[in-house]
Structure 1
């Protein structure tokens, strides 16, 4: 990671030596854009910090000890409000399955985790608008529910 900082610093230095005024103007434009999204970004960081307080054990308890459809609903809700990167979410899915959580519930949790962004709503509405963000989240929630139901049917957890 430090290599990227060194490369960026060297590029700015070379740019500064080549054309001092353009470099200063470019840095000022970058700072203005950064300061414009800084408030929204800080809100997102605060929300994510609160969400990270939710432990894996909490998720396992609420998803694994329920009837299939209650677990499905809990998976959809918890996945919608939780935010974590895929490299953490997928091993967590393996842990959930190993602890006896239904595939349908795990599918609901993981797909809403990736498709629905309650935590990222403040940033999304800035770029896409409130209406588009709400519709995207509703569509992601419905698609996640359908994927979970199909998974439950395919694994024999839900009878048609």
Structure 2
């Protein structure tokens, strides 16, 4: 239902744009199609990665490690895993949805996603060079703390 509302809204707005300025709208649609075709390989790899992960990790195993009543070990492990991984959000977000569908709790999945996007252990060498040691440590430390706080808040509210 939500997807239908979004798609209908987008269609109405595209039609409104075409009525308002046909040339700019055509140019924007051309750019959008080219960008979409550029994303196609990533989207195909997304489906493949999620398929491979779930062929090796049955839902029961995911539910056992990430499901049920969440614990600090679950959240800490998911946060650490997210902090050291370098996964594009395009792949990580659908993966998180699939983990939840497989029985994972919201809190560890939120810890994984928030640390994945906020903490950059992989990028520390670049940050050290560009920002310095003090700022790099503060930024990553605070990002880790706030990512875990956000994960617990999501667990409480959802």
Fold-level match, TM-score > 0.5?
yes
**Residue aligning to 1:76:** 79
Contact 1:63 1:105 in 2 (8 A): no
Q: Secondary structure at the match of 1:110?
A: helix
State the 1:56 CA deviation. Answer: 3.9
Taking structure 1 as the reference length, what is the TM-score of the superposition? 0.57
- Distance in 2 (CA, whole Å) between partners of 1:94 and 1:86 is 12
State the 1:130 CA deviation. Answer: 1.4
**Superposed, which structure 2 residues align to 1:46-61 within 5 Å?**
56=53
Taking structure 2 as the reference length, what is the TM-score of the superposition? 0.58
**Residue aligning to 1:146:** 149
Gaps of 5+ in 2: 1-51
Gaps of 5+ in 1: 1-54, 156-160
- Distance in 1 (CA, whole Å) between partners of 2:124 and 2:70 is 29
Ranges of 4+ aligned residues in structure 1 off by more than 3 Å:
55-64
In 2 relative to 1, CA 64–139 (structure 1 residues): closer, same or farther, beyond 3 Å?
A: farther
**Number of equivalences:** 101
RMSD: 2.3
